[in-house]
Amino acid sequence: MIWAKNLLFVAVIGGGVFTLGLNLIPPAKPTVLTEYHSPAPSNLPVEAVNQAFRKQWEDEGVTPVEPAPDLIVARRLALGLMGTVPSLEEIRQFEILPADQRIDWWLDHLFADQRFADYFGERLARAYVGTEDGPFILYRRRRFVSWLSEQVAANKPYDTLVRELIAGDGLWTDHPGTNFISVTSRPEMKNQPDPVRLAGRVTRAFLGMRLDCAQCHNHPFAAWKQTDFEGLSAFFGRTDIGFGGVHDGKTGEYEVETKAKDGTRVVDPKVPYAPELLPHTGTRRQQLAAWVTHKQNPFFARAVVNRVWALMHGRPLFEPVDNLDPSADVPPALDILANDFVAHGHDLRRLIRTIAKTQVFQLDSASDRQVGETEEKAWAVFPLTRLRPEQVSGSVLQAASVATVNAESHILLRLMRYGQQNEFVKRYGDTGEDEFEGRGGTIPQRLLLMNGEMVRERIKENPLNASSRIAWLAKDDPRAVEAAYLAVLSRRPTSVEREHFEKLLADPSVKRTQRLEDLYWALVNSTEFSWNH
């Protein structure tokens, strides 16, 4: 019996080693991760967007750079839609497909992955309610984010989602969309929602406008008046938080101090523009929700297009992302995408797919010729942007595994990832809701990557770590260097890089696992790793 147990043990170990090896070296017929069934819709407005930028380039005398390699485009999409680099396993699958199918397959794969829904849900939550935990008794941020993730996974029409946020009723636990209202509750207001904060959130998150700048006085640089902001706040004057959760009463008004500050005056609900789009039936919040999401309200579609563009490029098409000045010239591409978004049922996935297939998104971030600020402003080169903390941590954790780390991974691995990522983001410095504000790197951030516990734990010699698996299973040094580069930087090494690291790996005085650990450390700490490009 002992020999049988030993044989079984050897078989299990051997099977595990064989499985790990498949993740490193592409087999003749790799297992399909996500089936590719059919091409994407042929009526996407990709060429119209391309023509808009080409006209701009021609008018400004700008020449765009060359297209980026497919793997770099795949990396951009993974970072923008999931907050992580592609896994080595996913890269192997990506590369066996014909070139004309790769991006469409990759998008299908990302949309089907829970990581996309979770990551995008968090990004939306930051725009809607910020990053603070808020009043715990009346607000559940984690439940709100989970609910948003569910809506993203189901590809719920964006206008329907926003109407639920603005006009939803019920308890914040049973009807999580109402957390958008309850997060503004304040003890000094007897735990009732704050109409001023709600009006500010609605305009910034859903219309891309900073109407709250007119809260105390007329806007100095725009057409907005203080009365415009007061009128929007008044739509929440009857909103109440009671025993049954969030609901609208039949009485109650929004009041503000008089100019003489000797009393208050009642403010009637009023929209700042296009009053003909405001319905006359429904509760006040339902009326506001219908006006905000109306197909003829151009700012609604522009705002979400601008935000999705920013999430994918690291920089909005119109800056700042929450200040679409009505008097400013809007980039033609923004309106092309916004009009298509409305015409096709406010479909977020269609919008993402369209942006991903545009010439602008697929341009390289570097060129053999000199490019500068003129090309960057004209989107003639892909913008270099520093990764946000959750993208850095997500990329470290994924690069440290040859297999894909997703919702199908073992529960212990996911729990470990969750804890490590939260701790890393906390120490790295969360950017909060201002996700597209340009910020330079800091010395503590660099030290965290160089000496931090998460990086150290994820690259050291360990059967679970990619550096060790590559060291054990790669047949030779060239394959080991290539596998490490693909896993960390989503590209193959240049001839110079390959020659340099192959020479280091050939050093017999150092254990092979230690040499791979050093290689991993160097790649994770490279400038290239911490930037989207």
**pLDDT at position 186:** 83
Q: Which of 161-175, 299-313, 425-439 has the lowest mean pLDDT?
A: 425-439
Per residue in 101-135, pLDDT tens? Answer: 999 999 999 999 999 999 999 999 999 999 888 78
pTM comes to 0.90
Computed over every residue of the chain, the mean pLDDT equals 87
pLDDT 10s digits, 241-251: 988 899 998 78
394, two tokens = 């997500």
Q: Among 23-27, 226-230, 278-282, which is the least confidently predicted range?
A: 23-27
CA distance 363 to 361: 6
Alpha carbons 76 and 361: distance in angstroms, whole number: 9
CA distances from 164 to 147, 171, 354, 472 (A): 12, 13, 26, 53
Token pair of 113 as six digits: 């992955």
- pLDDT for 510: 85
Is-contact 216 229, C-beta < 8 A? Answer: no
Residue 401 has pLDDT above 70, yes or no: yes
**Band of residue 38 on the pLDDT scale cut at 50, 70, 90:** low
Question: Mind listing the pLDDT tens digit for each residue in 409-464?
Answer: 777 667 677 777 778 888 887 777 777 776 667 888 888 888 888 888 888 888 88
Report how far residue 22's alpha carbon sits from residue 19's, in angstroms, rounded to the nearest whole number. Answer: 5
165: number of Cβ within 10 Å: 26
List the single range of 77-86, 221-230, 277-286 with lowest mean pLDDT. Answer: 221-230
Q: Which residue has the tokens 């609605």?
A: 202
* Burial (CB count within 10 angstroms: exposed 0-12, middle 13-18, buried 19+), residue 242: exposed
The answer to whether residue 16 scores a pLDDT higher than 60 is: no
Contact 119, 83 (CB under 8 A): yes
Rounded to an integer, what distance in angstroms lies between the CA atom of residue 179 and that of residue 183? 6
**What are the extents of the domains in the chain?**
7-31+70-109+384-532, 115-292
**pLDDT on residue 253:** 83
Q: Which long-range contacts (CB under 8 A, 24 or more apart) does 271-279 make?
A: 271/231, 271/232, 272/211, 272/224, 272/225, 272/228, 272/229, 272/231, 272/232, 273/326
For residues 469-497, b (16+ Cβ closer than 10 Å) or e, as one string?
A: bbbbbbeebeebbbbbbbbbbbbebeeee
Average pLDDT on 147-172 reads: 97
Confidence of residue 164 (pLDDT cuts 50, 70, 90): very high
pLDDT class for 265, splitting at 50, 70, 90? confident
pLDDT of residue 255: 77
Encoded tokens for 370: 């000199």
Give the model's confidence band at 18: pLDDT under 50 very low, under 70 low, under 90 confident, else very high: very low
The β-bridge relationship of strands 385-386 and 264-267 is unpaired
Q: Which residue has the higher pLDDT, 374 or 229?
A: 374
Q: Which two three-digit tokens encode residue 526?
A: 């490279």
- Work out the percent of the chain whose per-residue pLDDT is above 90: 60
